[in-house]
Amino acid sequence: MRMRPTLSWTPAGDLPPGTTDLRPVADALKAGGVLVLSGAGISTESGIPDYRGEGGSLSRHTPMTYQDFTADARARRRYWARSHLGWRTFGRARPNAGHRAVAAFGRRGLLSGVITQNVDGLHQAAGSDGVVELHGSLDRVVCLSCGAFSPRRELARRLEEANPDFAPVAAGINPDGDADLTDEQVGDFRVVPCAVCGGVLKPDVVFFGENVPPPRVEQCRALVREAASLLVLGSSLTVMSGLRFVRQAAEAGKPVLIVNRDPTRGDRHALTRVAVPLGTALTTVAARLGVPVPVDDSGPDRRPVVPPTP
53 is in an annotated binding site: yes
Residue 87 pLDDT: 87
- Looking from the CA of 4 toward its CB, the CA atoms found within 13 Å total 12
Rounded to whole angstroms, what are the CA distances from 21 to 39, 81, 90, 173, 266?
21, 44, 33, 33, 18
pTM for the whole structure:
0.88
Q: Residue 200 in contact with residue 143, Cβ under 8 Å?
A: yes
Task: Confirm whether 5 is domain-assigned.
Answer: no
Cα separation, 252 vs 246, whole angstroms: 10
Task: Tell me the residue range of the domain where 40 lies.
Answer: 23-289
Q: Check the annotation: does 278 bind a ligand.
A: yes
**pLDDT confidence of residue 252:** 98
**pLDDT for residue 303:** 62
Name 256's bridge partners: 230
Residue 97: HSE in the Cβ half-sphere, 13 Å Cα cutoff: 15
**Residues counted in the chain:** 310
Whether the CB-CB separation of 120 and 102 falls below 8 Å is answered with: no
Alpha helices in 151-293 (DSSP H): 152-162, 183-186, 214-226, 240-251, 278-289
Q: For residue 179, is it within any domain?
A: yes
Count how many domains the chain has.
1
Per-residue pLDDT of the chain (310 residues; tens, 9 = 90+): 334 445 555 666 677 789 999 999 999 999 999 999 999 999 999 988 875 455 444 444 577 899 999 999 999 999 999 999 888 777 788 999 999 999 999 999 999 999 999 999 999 999 999 999 999 999 999 999 999 999 999 999 999 999 999 988 877 777 777 788 888 999 999 999 999 999 999 999 999 888 899 999 999 999 999 999 999 999 999 988 899 999 999 999 999 999 999 999 999 999 999 999 999 999 999 999 999 999 875 555 666 544 554 5
Domain containing 143 — which CATH number? 3.40.50.1220
The pLDDT score that the predictor gives to residue 59 is 44
Would 11 be classed as within a structural domain?
no
Residue of 99, 123, 135, 269 with catalytic role: 135
At 217 the pLDDT is: 97
* Residue 234 marked in a binding site: yes
Angle between helices 214-226 and 240-251 (to 10 degrees): 30
Angle at 34 between CA 97 and CA 117, to 5 degrees: 60
Q: Does the annotation list 112 as a binding residue? A: no
Answer left, alpha or beta for residue 77, where phi above 0 means left and psi between -120 and 50 means alpha: alpha
Q: What pLDDT was estimated at residue 14?
A: 76
d(C-alpha 294, C-alpha 116), whole Å? 21
269 among known catalytic residues: no
- Is residue 301 in a domain? no
Question: Known binder of ligand: residue 41?
Answer: yes
Would you state the pLDDT for residue 291?
98
Q: How many angstroms separate the Cα of 248 from the Cα of each of 4, 161, 270?
A: 18, 48, 12
Give the gyration radius of the chain's Cα atoms.
Answer: 19
Residue 1 is assigned to a structural domain of this protein:
no
Q: Please tell me whether 299 is known to bind a ligand.
A: no
Within its chain, how far is the Cα of 5 from the centroid?
Answer: 16
Q: Does residue 309 form part of some domain?
A: no
Q: Which residues contact 33 (CB under 8 A, 6 or more apart)?
A: 111, 112, 226, 227, 228, 229
Sheet containing strand 34-38, edge to edge, reads: 132-133, 111-116, 34-38, 229-233, 256-259, 272-274
Whether residue 268 lies inside any domain: the answer is yes
The pLDDT of residue 260 is 96
Q: Which pLDDT score is estimated for 208? A: 85
**Residue 30 domain flag:** yes
